[in-house]
Chains A and B, each alone.
Chain A
Amino acid sequence: MRQDTNNLPDVVYDVRGLNLWYGETHALKDVNLQILKNHVTAIIGPSGCGKSTFIKTLNRMIENVPGVRTSGEILYHGRDIFDKDLRVEELRTKVGMVFQKPNPFPKSIYENVLYGPKIHGIKNKQLLMEILETSLKASALWDEVKDRLDDNAYGLSGGQQQRLCIARCLAVQPDIILMDEPTSALDPIATSRIEELINRLKKDYTIAIVTHSMQQAARISDRTAYFLLGELVEYDYTERIFSNPRDQRTEDYITGRFG
Chain B
Amino acid sequence: MDGRTDVRKMIQDNISHKANRVDAVMPKFLLVMASMSVLTTVGIVLTLFFDAFKFFRQVPLSEVFSTDLAPLSADPSFGILPLINGTIFTSLIAMMVAVPIGLAAAVYLSQFASFNKRKVLKPMLELLAGVPTIVYGFFAYSFVTPLLMRLIPSLGSKNVISPGIVMGIMIIPMVASLSEDAMNAVPDAMREGALGLGSTRFEVAVKVVLPAAISGIVASFVLAISRAIGETMIVTIASGSNKNFSFDITQSMQTMTSYIVEFTSGDAGAGTTGYYSLYAVGLILFVFTLLMNLLAQYISKKYREVY
Contact = CB atoms under 8 A, between A and B. Distances in A.
B74 interface: no
A4 interface: no
B211 A89 contact: no
A116 interface: yes
Contact of A103 (B192, B198, B200, B305): B192
Contacts of A101: 189
Contacts of A120: 198
B200 A89 contact: yes
A61 B192 contact: yes
Interface residues of B, number: 21
Interface string A136-154: 0000000000000000101
Contacts, number: 68
Contacts of A169: 196-197
A154 B305 CA distance: 9
A124 B187 CA distance: 31
Contacts of A152: 306
B46 interface: no
Contacts of A105: 190, 193-194, 208, 211-212
Given A103-B187, A106-B212, A119 B199 contact: yes
A97 B195 CA distance: 9
A120 B198 CA distance: 8
Nearest to A116: B197
A115 B197 CA distance: 9
A256 interface: no
Interface string A82-93: 000000011111
A89 B199 contact: yes
A200 B208 CA distance: 30
B306 A59 contact: no
Contacts of B208: 105, 115
B307 interface: yes
B207 interface: yes
A64 interface: yes
Contacts of A106: 190, 211-212, 305-307
A119 B196 contact: no
A116 B212 contact: no
Contacts of B192: 61, 64, 97, 99, 103
Nearest to B207: A119
A66 B115 CA distance: 9
Interface string B99-128: 000000000000000010000000000000
A64 B196 CA distance: 11
A104 interface: yes
Contacts of B187: 103
A116 B198 contact: yes
B127 to A, nearest CB: 27
Contacts of B203: 119
Nearest to B305: A106
A96 interface: yes
A116 B193 CA distance: 10
A107 interface: yes
Given A105-B212, A106-B307, A115-B207, A92 B198 contact: yes
A120 B200 CA distance: 10
Interface string A39-73: 00000000000000000000101001010000000
A6 B74 CA distance: 107
Nearest to A97: B196
A165 interface: yes
Contact of A165 (B193, B211, B305): B193
Contact of A61 (B190, B195, B305): B195
Interface of A: 59, 61, 64, 66, 89-93, 96-97, 99, 101, 103-107, 115-116, 119-120, 152, 154, 165, 168-169, 172
Closest 3 CB pairs of A and B: A93-B198, A97-B196, A106-B305
27 contacts: A59-B196, A61-B192, A61-B195, A89-B200, A90-B198, A92-B195, A92-B196, A92-B198, A97-B196, A99-B192, A99-B193, A99-B196, A103-B190, A103-B193, A104-B193, A105-B193, A106-B212, A106-B305, A106-B306, A115-B207, A119-B198, A119-B207, A120-B198, A168-B193, A169-B196, A169-B197, A172-B197
Given A92-B197, A93-B197, A99-B193, 6 more contacts: A61-B196, A92-B196, A99-B196, A106-B306, A106-B307, A172-B198
